[in-house]
Amino acid sequence: MTRKDFLQQLERALSGLKPEMVREILSDYDEYFNDALADGRDEAEVVAALGSPQKLARELKAQSHYRQWEQHRSFANLSRVMVSIAGLGVLNFFLALPFLAYLLFLTVGYIVSLSFLVAGLAVVVGWGSHSLFGWPQFTSDGSGWYIGRHGDYIGRYGDNGAEMALSSDKNDHAGQVWIDNGRLMLNPDDGDRFELKTRRGDSLLVFKQQGKLKVDASQPTVRQLAQIEDGEVSINGRAIRELTLREDSGDVFTARVDDNSRLVQFDASAGGTALKLAASGPKSSILLNDGGSALEISESKIALKDGTDHIQIDALPGLSVGMSALVVGLGLLLSGALGLVFCVWLTRLTWRVLVSYVKYQIELVSGKDRENAAA
């Protein structure tokens, strides 16, 4: 190979570097050839001592990228140095494969740690929000009736109020039952009827027949609890323990309160779907049946049955489902935080190892160039 061929191949192999840098390198090697020829060396001997122009170009690129990284130490510049070093030989390339696998492992570690952190934070915030503000709240069977707090709910029996209350968001229920200043207001549709039981166990029936409101009671004194005003029945909410709405369609909704006027049980049957809710006490539970499917939520477990499929989540020993969720959320939060700290520590350690490895490889390349120049 002649001097001209060597320089031409070297110029092509240096593609990707800045043009002014390529011109400077070619000028240096052209001057090197002149010095060698002046010392009486043969052109072919100089070409043989320099070796392959392609390999020389890879070494020069690695050195150039290293100088760029020294001027501006960023991960992108370091990555270019690593790629250049990996291209110097098959051995370096195979050494890079385990490193790439390690980077993949580190990336997965970051993703898992962040996922645990976000999931734990969501669980803890959700638990705190529900405990303090009652949100998120339970939703029932899709019939339009649901359990909640305040707002336009069948909400408060008296000043203490029901912690959980019955409401409707569908037109066929709207305007049938609500609370107004502690008074239970009833306005059933034709064919529907309200069956109420007082705290003394007496019965009271409210229904509409041919557009006219009617009230039947087991005792005259009980009848006096209900007042008909402007086409609505008004009843003192504190006097009522149980309210049942029987619709003409066959749907039935029953709500029961305790001595403190708090909702303690709610049963609903609508369109083949049955819902049972025990709202307070040590055995609080929600049971929803829809044909062959069933959902049960209690203090000790959450169970879902759908035909032959069965999923059950049990609470931690000695804890309720809510407290178990808090413990799991805190565990996820702590695991995610510790995992993230460990990944950051590994990243810093990896950076130091990479810098040492790059310096070592560049020193090897520079040493070879000096040996070639001396030869």
Q: Given the structure tokens 């006027």, which residue do they identify?
A: 261
Distance of CA 320 to the CA centre of its chain: 23
pLDDT tens for each residue of 311-344: 998 888 988 888 898 999 999 999 999 999 999 9
Q: Can the peptide bond before residue 136 be classed as cis, meaning omega within 30 degrees of 0? A: yes
- CB burial of 184-206 (b: ≥16 within 10 Å; e: otherwise) equals bbbbbeeebbbbbbbeeebebbb
User: In the chain, what are the domain boundaries?
Assistant: 3-72, 75-140+325-374, 142-262
Q: For 4-29, how does the pLDDT look when each residue is reduced to its tens digit (9 = 90+)?
A: 888 889 888 888 888 888 888 889 88
Summarised one tens digit per residue, pLDDT across range 190-201 is 889 999 999 989
> Residue 129 is encoded by which pair of tokens?
């929000």
> Residue 363: pLDDT above 90?
no
Task: From 140, 72, 35, 69, select the one nearest 148 (Cα to Cα).
Answer: 140
Q: What per-residue confidence (pLDDT) applies to 349?
A: 92
pLDDT in tens, 126-161: 888 877 776 655 443 333 333 333 333 333 333 333
- Confidence class of residue 97 from pLDDT cuts 50, 70 and 90? confident
Helix axes 90-133, 321-374, angle to 10 degrees: 160
Share of the chain residues as helix, strand and coil, in percent rounded to the nearest 5: 45, 25, 25
